[in-house]
């Protein structure tokens, strides 16, 4: 069996300031988004509609706020609502940890809706630019979870070549390195699939809905290998909170994809968009 190396969570220090791997992973995620989204905005179907790099930079600003605020609120009220309703001031104590992807997603969607309205662009068009650029950033954050030795997996067969003991768990049995599973599934694999799917012109909103559906499916699978939160355990039907939160994503993504498919392609759909 492998044993988690127990990396130092602090990447380096600048005087009294400690820079953590987790924080660096978010910087990497935002940097990759800026690069990828700028390339996507330069594609003919977007460039002809007035998209420029400064639009991507503005989207990033809105998106960062959405990730941080939504991710924190999602953790507080999806996973520990009773505790944070009783201790509301601790919602702001982000240094104690606690971020949830599903909350961050809702935060980004809200932020992009505000961005679209402020720029006079169609919300689905904005989300089509954003969606294919997100998964690689998710992969970066999952790698940081592995470095920190957190969000470890469920018990695994010790004969599995990559089964790993996480001393941080307080247990000595082998586990699945589920952080890496998630980095590969909802990160790298979803990124490759969306890049391939988005190469061709699609109906407005179909790329974004493919992301929602794809992430929901891949995260649902990954949750079977991830240890449920100790304060929640498995919920109804033997599913984790993460799986229950993925179900509406899967349904919404599929319904939205079909609905968008009945609309005109992006190059022909101009309603509600300004150049």
**Number of Cβ atoms within 10 Å of the Cβ of 150:** 15
Q: Is 119 labeled as ligand-binding?
A: no
What torsion, rounded to 10 degrees, do the Cα atoms 46, 47, 49, 55 define?
80
What DSSP line would sit under 5-61, residue for residue?
----SEEEEETTEEEEHHHHHHHHHHHHHHHHHHHHHTSHHHHTTT--HHHHHHHHH
Q: What is the C-alpha separation between 231 and 237, in angstroms, rounded?
A: 17
Which of 73-82, 92-101, 202-211 ranks highest by mean pLDDT?
A: 202-211
Distances in Å between the Cα of 205 and the Cα atoms of 12, 24, 93, 202 are: 41, 31, 36, 8
Q: What is the C-alpha separation between 237 and 224, in angstroms, rounded?
A: 13
Exposed/middle/buried for residue 130 (C-beta within 10 Å: 0-12, 13-18, 19+): buried
Looking at 74-78, 107-111, 227-231, 265-269, which range is the least confident one?
265-269
pLDDT, averaged across the chain: 90
Which pTM was predicted? 0.88
Tokens representing 45? Answer: 């179907």
Q: For position 140, what pLDDT does the model report?
A: 95
Pairing outcome for strands 164-165 and 2-3: parallel
Name residue 19's beta-bridge partners. Answer: 12
Q: What is the C-alpha separation between 101 and 73, in angstroms, rounded?
A: 10
Q: For position 231, what pLDDT does the model report?
A: 82
Q: For position 95, what pLDDT does the model report?
A: 65
Q: For 33, what's the count of Cα atoms within 13 Å in the CB-facing half-sphere?
A: 28
Share of the chain above pLDDT 70, in %: 95
Exposure string (b/e) for 25-39, b if CB count within 10 Å is 16 or more?
A: bbebbbebbbebbbe
Summarize pLDDT for 57-83 with one digit per residue, the tens.
999 999 999 998 998 888 888 888 888
Confidence of residue 195 (pLDDT cuts 50, 70, 90): very high
Confidence of residue 24 (pLDDT cuts 50, 70, 90): very high
């Amino acid at each position: 069996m492998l044993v988690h190396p127990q990396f130092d969570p602090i990447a380096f220090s600048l005087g009294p300031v400690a820079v953590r791997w987790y924080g660096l992973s978010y910087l990497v995620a935002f940097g990759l988004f800026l690069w990828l989204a700028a390339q996507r905005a330069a594609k003919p179907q977007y460039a002809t509609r007035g998209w420029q790099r400064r639009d991507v930079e503005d989207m990033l600003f809105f998106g960062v706020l959405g990730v941080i605020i939504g991710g924190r609120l999602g953790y507080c009220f999806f996973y520990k609502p009773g505790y944070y309703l009783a201790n509301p001031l601790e919602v702001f104590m982000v240094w104690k940890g606690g971020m949830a992807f599903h909350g961050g997603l809702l935060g980004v969607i809200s932020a992009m809706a505000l961005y679209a309205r402020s720029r006079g662009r169609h919300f689905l068009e904005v989300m089509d630019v954003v969606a294919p650029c997100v998964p690689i950033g998710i992969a970066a954050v999952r790698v940081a979870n592995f470095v920190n030795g957190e969000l470890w997996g469920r018990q695994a067969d010790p004969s599995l070549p990559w089964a790993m003991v996480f001393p941080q768990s307080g247990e000595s049995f082998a586990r699945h390195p589920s952080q890496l599973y998630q980095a590969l599934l909802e990160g790298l694999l979803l990124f490759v699939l969306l890049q391939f799917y988005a190469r061709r012109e699609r109906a407005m909103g179909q790329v974004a809905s493919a992301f929602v559906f794809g992430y929901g499916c891949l995260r649902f699978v990954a949750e079977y290998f991830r240890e449920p939160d100790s304060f929640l355990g498995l919920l109804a039907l033997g599913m984790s909170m993460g799986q229950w939160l993925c179900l509406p994503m899967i349904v919404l993504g599929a319904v939205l994809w079909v609905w968008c498919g009945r609309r005109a392609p992006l190059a022909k759909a101009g309603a509600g968009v300004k150049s």
